[in-house]
Amino acid sequence: MTSLIPGAQTLIGTEDTTEEDRFKEDQHFATVICAFARYEQIGFQEVDIQREYYASVNQKYKDMLPDHYKRFVAVKEGIMFNYDLISYILGPHLDDNYHHVKDTTIDEQQILSKRPRVLPLILPPSQKHAPRVGPEEMEKVYSTLKQFVRDWSAEGAFERDKCYGPLLAELEQLFPTNRGQIKVLTPGAGLGRLSWEIANRGFCSQGNEFSFYMLLAANFMLNYVKEKEQIALYPFVHQRSNNFNQSDPLRSVAIPDVNPADLPPNSDFTMVAGDFVELYNATPNHWDCIVTCFFLDTARNVFEYIEVIHRALKKGGVWINLGPLLYHYAESFDTFSIELSYDELKKVITDMGFEITKDSIQSCTYTTNKRSMIALVYKCAMFTAVKKTDNPKTDVLLNMHDFHASHTQPFEHDHHHHENGVCHH
């Protein structure tokens, strides 16, 4: 894997990586690209199952909604548009013989009977067979489509204003001048909009992301899209429940709302792929500011995240955080994690050598469909903390490196989990 912005430093991988680790990473990467590649096929199958069940109900019920069958056509059409986007996202991983052809004149019967496309992929050499793609993988593909709305659409602006707005305002207030000299890191950068906004304000900005789903989508958006509203996306086409109107999940959203290439001259903006702890534990006293948004609860060992943030910051450096504590591994049966309350978290942050200078609660949503009958609202912790000492108290903490080494890759820093937080409340 490499960094996503041309000219960016490649930080993925270490000399200690074993052959087994590389095989597992290849296997996981192959699963991700196969999940994207089978999106249309699996999406069509879901629609066909729904249509067959609807066909089986009593005719007197179907007569009440004579136009309901058109919904199945519209859903398939939306899936086809989404698959066009996916084919561009997977462009570097497609067989050279693949030629993208967009269907523009297909009637209803052709859409319903259309054979779904499965993109011919170039898999890592270590992967002899295409891996199995299950519901969990497909849900992450669906979620990635909605991440485009959150980060790169006009519709997502209200959510960005609530989440990114306070972080950017605090950053600008703390560093009003000489921003080109201020190095800002955003771990868990997702599709890169917050990191992009920081660069757009003149800072030296680096985003870090581990999820292959996010990395593939961010690579396409940041490197290949050159115009506003260039793409029509149907991000809610798979939402079958909590719809006020039949047309609500069938609407398109134009992306992006800005030209991602439209940054100030001489901007210093990079996106780096890899595990946050592994990469940034190796670069002590380097960053002026670290901005974390919906990131802390992606940790299995939140102590370790805090320790690495402290280590990576310069003395006097600032950590700005906003997010909930929906710990992603808390309900996993096969993965251990540490779930601290917010008061415990603040004590650990202080014991690690920070001074918390601001502390508030902000209400935020995550990949919300504004026309849905349901919306999950998080009461997010927002704080600003300044690194005061170089030697944090570690006598009461876990052996971080032993914990990290005993829970090896691959796993995803799961942005999708925040979206589905309603399942846990």
For residues 256 and 156, state if they share a domain. Answer: yes
Q: Which of 100, 133, 166 delimits the end of a domain?
A: 133
In a domain, 4, yes or no: no
The pLDDT confidence band at residue 74, using thresholds 50, 70 and 90, is very high
Q: Report which of residues 111 and 71 the model is more confident about.
A: 71
Domain encompassing residue 267:
140-424
| Predicted confidence band of residue 228 (pLDDT cuts 50, 70, 90) | very high
Q: Indicate the pTM of the whole model.
A: 0.87
Q: Could you give the CA distance from residue 327 to residue 241 in angstroms, rounded to a whole number?
A: 26
Helices 69-89 and 19-37: angle between axes, nearest 10 degrees: 140
pLDDT in tens, 166-222: 999 999 999 999 999 999 999 999 999 999 999 999 999 999 999 999 999 999 999
My answer on whether 93 and 182 are in the same domain is no
| Pair 111, 145 in one domain | no
Do residue 243 and residue 332 come from a single domain?
Answer: yes
pLDDT of residue 335: 80
Clarify whether residues 299 and 333 are in a common domain.
yes
pLDDT tens digits along 315-348: 999 999 999 999 988 887 778 899 999 999 999 9
CATH number of 158's domain: 3.40.50.150
Domain stops at, among 110, 133, 156? 133
Q: pLDDT confidence of 389, banded at 50, 70, 90?
A: confident
Judge if 306 and 194 occupy the same domain: yes
Is 193 in the same domain as 116? no
* Residue 379 pLDDT exceeds 90: yes
Give the number of domains in the chain: 2
* Confidence (pLDDT) at 106: 53
Q: Which pLDDT score is estimated for 99?
A: 53
Q: Which two tokens stand for residue 357?
A: 């200078």
Average pLDDT, the chain: 86
Top pLDDT among 129 and 181 is at: 181
Domain membership flag for residue 5: no
Write out pLDDT tens, residues 236-279: 999 999 999 999 999 999 999 999 999 999 999 999 999 999 99
Q: Say yes or no: 160 and 307 in one domain.
A: yes
* Domain membership flag for residue 3: no
Same domain, 65 and 158: no
| Confidence (pLDDT) at 25 | 85
pLDDT interval class at 131 (50, 70, 90): confident
Q: Of 133, 156, 182, which residue is a domain's last? A: 133
- Same domain? For 281 and 404 the reply is yes
Is 119 inside a domain boundary? Answer: yes
* 107, 152: one domain: no
For range 399-423, the mean pLDDT = 47
In degrees, to the nearest 5, what angle opens at C-alpha 165 toward C-alphas 162 and 168?
A: 150
In a domain, 7, yes or no: no
Residue 60 lies in a domain: yes
Percent of the chain topping pLDDT 90: 72
pLDDT per position as a tens digit, 85-126: 999 999 878 766 555 545 545 566 666 666 677 777 777 777
In a domain, 181, yes or no: yes
Q: Are residues 172 and 297 in the same domain?
A: yes
Per-residue confidence (pLDDT) for residue 401, from 0 to 100: 42
Amino acid at 173: Q
Higher pLDDT, 163 or 6: 163
Instruction: Write the secondary structure of the chain as one string of H (helix), E (strand) and C (coil).
Output: CCCCCCCCCCCCCCCCCCHHHHHHHHHHHHHHHHHHHCHHHHHHHHHHHHHHHHHHCCHHHHCCCCCCHHHHHHHHHHHHHHHHHHHHHCHHHECCCCCCCCCCCCCHHHHHHCCCCCCCECCCCCCCCCCCCCHHHHHHHHHHHHHHHHHHCCCCHHHHHHHHHHHHHHHHHHCCCCHHHCEEEEECCCCCHHHHHHHHCCCEEEEEECCHHHHHHHHHHHHHCCCCCCEEECCCCCCCCCECCCCHHHCCEEECCCCCCCCCCCCCEEEEECCHHHHHCCCCCCEEEEEEECCHHHCCCHHHHHHHHHHHEEEEEEEEEEECCCCCCCCCCCCCCCCCCHHHHHHHHHHCCEEEEEEEEEEECCCCCCCECCCCCEEEEEEEEEECCCCCCCCCCCCHHHHHHCCCCCCCCCHHHHHCHHHHC
Would you say residue 19 lies in a domain? yes
